Amino acid sequence: MKKILFQGIAIAALFFMTWFLLSQVNWVDLFRVQKITDKTEQRTGDLFWDFFRKTENEIKNPFVVNSIDSIVTKICNANHIDRERIKIHILKKDDVNAFALPNGHLIIYDGLILASDNQEELSGVIGHEMAHIVLSHVMKKLVKDVGIASIVSMTSGKGGTEIIKEAVKKISSTAFDRKMEKEADIKAVDYLLKAKINPEPFADFLFMISEKENDAMKYFAWINTHPDSKERAENIIEYSKNKKVDFKSVLNIETWDGLKEKLKD
């Protein structure tokens, strides 16, 4: 009798444990996101990049492109990220901004590069956006913001220009949720540490833009898409402290200074 009673309790406990675990999963979001196939993400990313390519001025100067590529490649190699997955595009625009598009497209405005006091600040922002890509935040945000129907409509050629414009605006100028931002920050710090890049200047950059939130909204577009800058900076400092790493610059000082001079031309 005791054995039967024990088995009954065990089965009941297993049932309630399974029920609890399953209840923690957002099945609607999970199935909705999984419906977005890799092919659809590729088409969406290419469609969005084509929009920027036609409407913005892309910087193709080899010195500029190779300098930024060196930073991206260093982060990728140190963190076992497929370099081919990250597609960097540098655009001529005063806004201090960078953002990820579907299918690994990463847009960087030269205003961000010029506003960065050092390459470590820039590396932190790049690492943060790469984290959004690797953690699949971009498509999840897009599904939430514009819906699966709109995405399918765009990629099938049935969506009008206005739908594409609205989707591009959503992905480039609205914030990820707080959980995703924190995940991307922590992942970016891990990226930087493994690449032997000091993450503290990234926190300094966030402190700096938090101080400018009231008077520089026009140009500091990264403020709009990455709120709570001061709190995030403090979290980065707390997370990265006591982690002893022999930090090294990716670019030498001449290359970094030359990069900024090229962009000022």
Say what the pLDDT of residue 216 is: 47
pLDDT given for residue 258 in this prediction: 96
pLDDT at 223: 52
Q: Which residue has the higher pLDDT, 265 or 52?
A: 52
Distance CA 75, CA 117 (A): 19
Q: What share of the chain is helix, strand, coil (3-state, %, to 5)?
A: 70, 5, 25
243: three-class secondary structure by DSSP = coil
Q: What is the pLDDT at residue 218? A: 46
Residue 25 pLDDT class (50, 70, 90 cuts): very low
Mean pLDDT of 141-145: 85
Q: Name the pTM for this structure.
A: 0.81
pLDDT band at 152 (very low <50, low <70, confident <90, very high): confident
The residues, any chain, with a CB within 8 Å of residue 172's CB and separated by 6 or more, are: 97, 99, 101, 107, 225
Question: Can you read off the two tokens belonging to residue 206?
Answer: 């966030």
| Least confident span in 26-35, 113-122, 173-182 | 26-35
| pLDDT tens profile 177-191 | 888 988 999 999 999
Residue-wise pLDDT for 33-62, tens only, equals 555 567 888 888 998 999 899 999 999 999
pLDDT of 247 strictly over 70: yes
pLDDT score at 202: 94
pLDDT tops 70 at residue 32:
no
In angstroms, the CA 260 to CA 249 distance is: 16
CA distances (Å), origin 27, targets 21, 32, 161, 164: 12, 8, 32, 28
Interval 159-176 mean pLDDT? 77
The residues that bridge with 106 in the sheet, in sequence order, are 88, 100
Confidence of residue 204 (pLDDT cuts 50, 70, 90): very high
